[in-house]
Amino acid sequence: MKTPLFLLLLVLTLLAAGCAQGSTAITAPEIRFGEDVCIECKMIISDPRFAAAYTYEVSPGRYENALFDDIGDMLVYADKNPQHTVVAWWVHDYDTKEWIDGTKATYMFSHALQTPMAQGTAAFATSEAAHVLADQLQGEVFDWSGLQERHAAGALAVDVGASMQEGEHGHMAEQTQPAPAAAVGREYEVEIDGYHIHLIGQEALHAGFNTVFLHLTAPDGQPVSGAQMSIAPSMNMVDGKHHGSGVVAPVETAPGMHEGALIFSMPGGPDLGSWDVAVAFTDTVASVSGSALLPVEVAPSKLHGSFMGPEEKKVFVSVIQPTAAQVGKQPFEVYVMQKQGMFDWPPLDDLTLEITPWMPTMDHGSPGNEHPVATGGGRYLGVVNFTMAGPWTVVVVVKDGDAVLGEVTFEYEVR
């Protein structure tokens, strides 16, 4: 018996439809709280206040949703999957727990807000609602663009000082206090549920730019490869206020080793306040996360300065290299950032920098200097020439086009 042609065509059509990947609609997903798993951290999604998602195109006209238990996880996963063509971003309104367009939401970050992956961020449908919670938690409010900038700077991490781990049903496990941080010179160490984090400065930590290395080892003592790590500095002022500072997000350079930078806006001290660095990690293989607070000592520096920039927002300029100058030509690299909010310190690019080395004791400058030019991420690289040993200053004039924004002066003892 022959099968009618129209039946064959119908069967083939149904099979093709069944095999096609994704949906034809761009819509917010339905999350089964307590059952669905975050695609980034592999934790069960349980709190609708912080759950997020994005829709991406898998083939022309067909789409899929990626689910997350934390807004920060969504941004991390998107960074790790640049091949995804994201067509929609979804976040939940903190108050109503309803889906809203992530690009139109208002965000609030606070170190006092506990989220599933310690990202400290909540979304709101209105700016007014965001400011209400910000006032309660001493937080900061920003839009979608500000959220992306903060994420890129590695500044979505709370400093609650307690490790966090999801239980088997996705609820927050009981918080355990980490072992006290031990400081030895430029090295700091903390233990969180058997994991060890070493924060190592290239030099003793000081006001300005500090290259730092984070080494993460598992309870068995082995380096943790592929982990996600973040750092966030926080200044505890003597008047009871708090503010952050600049960060270059850590990037894994070897198994268990991540390199980043902390740009402290000021030193610590009994008359100023104390610095903490919040460190957070996620072991993506074991699906374990934790965070801790490291009290650190930050010394004064003559290679860091600031001035009041446009709209009364302070601009900071810090030397990356050289920190110990020698006679002759050498690379001269600085980092420029701006304080836009208590916890919003973005790097500044596309500026014009001009340098003038000067030896005050001999009343002369030097030839062969090259003004620093932008290389991205707030960094500017040039060449400075110290023609003889002794005390030198380097004046850096910062311009936006032809307009002078301000200047800073660095002091060197050239050997």
What are 309-333's pLDDT values in tens digits? 888 889 999 999 999 999 999 999 9
> Strand 106-109 relative to strand 140-142: parallel, antiparallel, unpaired?
antiparallel
What average pLDDT does the segment 30-44 reach?
83
| Summary count for the chain: helices (H), strands (E) | 4, 25
Q: Are 183 and 48 in contact (CB under 8 A)?
A: no
Q: What pLDDT is attached to residue 13?
A: 46
Q: What confidence score (pLDDT) does residue 64 get?
A: 93
Local structure of residue 45 (DSSP, 8 states): P
Question: What confidence score (pLDDT) does residue 157 get?
Answer: 66
* 110 in Cβ contact with 162 (< 8 Å): no
**What is the CA 343 to chain-centroid distance, rounded?**
11
- Contact of 348 with 336, CB cutoff 8 Å: yes
Write out the two tokens for 166.
């999801």
> Quick one: what percent of the chain has pLDDT higher than 70?
88
Question: Which domains are delineated in the chain?
Answer: 21-152 (no CATH), 182-296 (2.60.40.1930), 304-414 (2.60.40.1930)
Using the predicted structure, report yes or no on whether residue 8 has a pLDDT greater than 70.
Answer: no
Q: How far apart are CA 244 and CA 246, in angstroms?
A: 7
Per-residue CA distances from 392 to 130, 287, 316, 324, 361 (Å): 49, 52, 21, 12, 8
pTM equals 0.59
For residue 5, count CB atoms less than 10 angstroms from its CB and return exposed for 0-12, middle for 13-18, buried for 19 or more. exposed
Going by C-alpha positions, the residue among 26, 47, 25 that lies closest to residue 36 is: 47
pLDDT given at position 120: 86
pLDDT of residue 4: 53
pLDDT of 378 > 80? The answer is yes
CB distance 67 to 51 below 8 Å? yes
Q: What is the rounded distance in angstroms from the CA atom of residue 279 to the CA atom of residue 160?
A: 10
pLDDT digits (tens, 9 = 90+) for 135-160: 888 889 999 999 998 888 777 765 43
Q: What is the pLDDT of residue 3?
A: 47
- Checking phi first, is residue 233 left (phi over 0); if not, alpha (psi -120 to 50) or beta? beta
The reported pLDDT for the residue numbered 358 is 97
Residue 173 has pLDDT above 70, yes or no: no
Backbone angles phi, psi at 141, to 5 degrees: -110, 140
Q: For position 393, what pLDDT does the model report?
A: 97
Contact 279, 188 (CB under 8 A): no
Phi, psi of 337 (to 5 degrees): -140, 165
Which of 181-185, 202-206, 366-370 comes out lowest in average pLDDT? 181-185
- Where does the pLDDT of residue 169 fall: very low under 50, low under 70, confident under 90, or very high at 90 and above? very low
Label residue 47 exposed, middle or buried (CB < 10 Å: 0-12, 13-18, 19+): middle
pLDDT score for 9: 47
**Token digits for 363?**
């009343």
pLDDT value of position 160: 37
Question: What is d(CA 34, CA 139) in angstroms, rounded to the nearest whole number?
Answer: 29
Tokens of 95: 């108050």
* Terminal Cα-to-Cα distance of the chain (whole angstroms): 98
List the Cα angle 157/162/165 in 5-degree steps: 85
